[in-house]
């Protein structure tokens, strides 16, 4: 069973995923790293920039507002494309990041925000982003790396099992983000930089209920990765950690950028 964001339009209530993105975007941590992502694009007012897997289009709209640049939102989901248009984004395309409908070197930059973790072939998506960006243009990638997760509940072995499910089974590429720099370097991008930002959550109702963390164990049990009794124990310990004030969860996001080399 793929993660919901790998197949938005096939979900029973796809519009709810639009709301999930809106709730996360309202969180201070997300707002801050997204601003930094846009800064790393070094956008020019006359430039043309592509948001790959643009979701609601909020990032593309913000880039246009902040810099005057022309921002194009691309998403494989018709639901998300409709949301982008409703939000007022002028340039929207329904497109799969593996096959971008743009000619070579026609854009001044491209970015993918929490996208590579979901795609079937992240190497091909980065190839496509590199192809459509002109020499001297910028490419920026941002994703959480779920191999960095920590959670404070009583049974740390059980916590590790559930977090590993999230990292390795519930997402296609949940532990890829620390390798983004190598992917850009392999494509001869210059000035490759990596910035790490750690999301720390003490309030279990924040960050859209910590991205549904309390439900992960039962999801793992339903898919045969965890014993149902262990899933029940995880929820009990989760609730105990909350009630005693010990609850803490953290995961590190990597923001990786580079410049396409001149020919």
pLDDT at position 95 is 97
Does pLDDT of 13 surpass 70? yes
Which phi and psi angles does 251 have, rounded to 5°?
-150, 145
Q: Measured between alpha carbons, how far is 205 from 212 in angstroms, rounded to an integer?
A: 9
Residue pair 57/92 in contact by the 8 Å Cβ criterion: yes
- 121 is written with which tokens? 């072939």
pLDDT at position 262 is 85
- Residue-averaged pLDDT of the chain: 96
Cα–Cα distances in angstroms (integers) from residue 177 to residues 42, 70, 160, 241, 244, in the given order: 21, 27, 19, 29, 33
Does pLDDT of 4 surpass 90? no
Instruction: Determine which helix (DSSP H) or strand (DSSP E) holds 165, and give its type and residue range.
Output: helix 156-168
Is 152 strand, coil or helix? coil
Q: What is the pLDDT of residues 83-109, one digit of tens each?
A: 999 999 999 999 999 999 999 999 999
Q: Measured between alpha carbons, how far is 251 from 64 in angstroms, rounded to an integer?
A: 29
Question: Stretch 3-8: mean pLDDT, rounded?
Answer: 88
Q: What is the pLDDT of residues 150-197, one digit of tens each?
A: 999 999 999 999 999 999 999 999 999 999 999 999 999 999 999 999
pLDDT at position 3 is 80
The 3-class SS string of 35-79 reads HHHHHHHCCCCCCEEEEECCCCCHHHHHHHHHHCCEEEEEECCHH
Specify the pTM: 0.95
Does pLDDT of 1 surpass 60? no
Cα–Cα distances in angstroms (integers) from residue 248 to residues 72, 102, 150, 153, in the given order: 37, 44, 8, 8
Q: Which domains does the chain have, with CATH numbers?
A: 4-259 (3.40.50.150)
Is 8 strand, coil or helix? helix
């Amino acid at each position: 069973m793929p993660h919901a964001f790998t197949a938005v339009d096939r979900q029973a209530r796809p519009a709810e995923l639009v709301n999930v993105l809106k709730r996360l975007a309202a969180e201070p941590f997300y707002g801050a790293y997204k601003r930094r992502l846009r800064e790393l694009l070094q956008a020019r007012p006359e430039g043309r920039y592509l948001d790959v897997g643009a979701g609601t289009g909020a990032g593309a709209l913000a880039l246009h507002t902040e810099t005057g640049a022309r921002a194009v939102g691309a998403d494989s989901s018709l639901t998300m494309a409709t949301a982008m248009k409703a939000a007022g984004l002028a340039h929207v395309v329904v497109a799969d990041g593996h096959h971008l409908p743009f000619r070579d070197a026609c854009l001044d930059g491209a970015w993918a925000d929490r996208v590579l973790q979901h795609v079937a072939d992240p190497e091909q998506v980065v190839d496509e982003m590199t192809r459509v960006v002109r020499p001297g243009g910028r490419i920026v990638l941002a994703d959480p790396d779920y191999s960095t997760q920590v959670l404070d509940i009583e049974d740390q072995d059980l916590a590790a099992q559930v977090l590993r499910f999230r990292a390795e089974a519930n997402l296609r590429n949940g532990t890829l983000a620390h390798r983004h720099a190598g992917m850009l370097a392999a494509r001869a991008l210059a000035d490759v930089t990596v910035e790490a930002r750690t999301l720390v959550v003490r309030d279990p109702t924040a960050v859209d209920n910590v991205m549904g963390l309390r439900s992960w164990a039962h999801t793992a049990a339903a898919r045969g990765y965890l014993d149902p009794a262990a899933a029940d124990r995880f929820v009990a310990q989760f609730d105990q950690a909350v009630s005693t004030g010990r609850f803490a969860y953290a995961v590190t996001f990597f923001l990786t950028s580079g410049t396409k080399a001149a020919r």
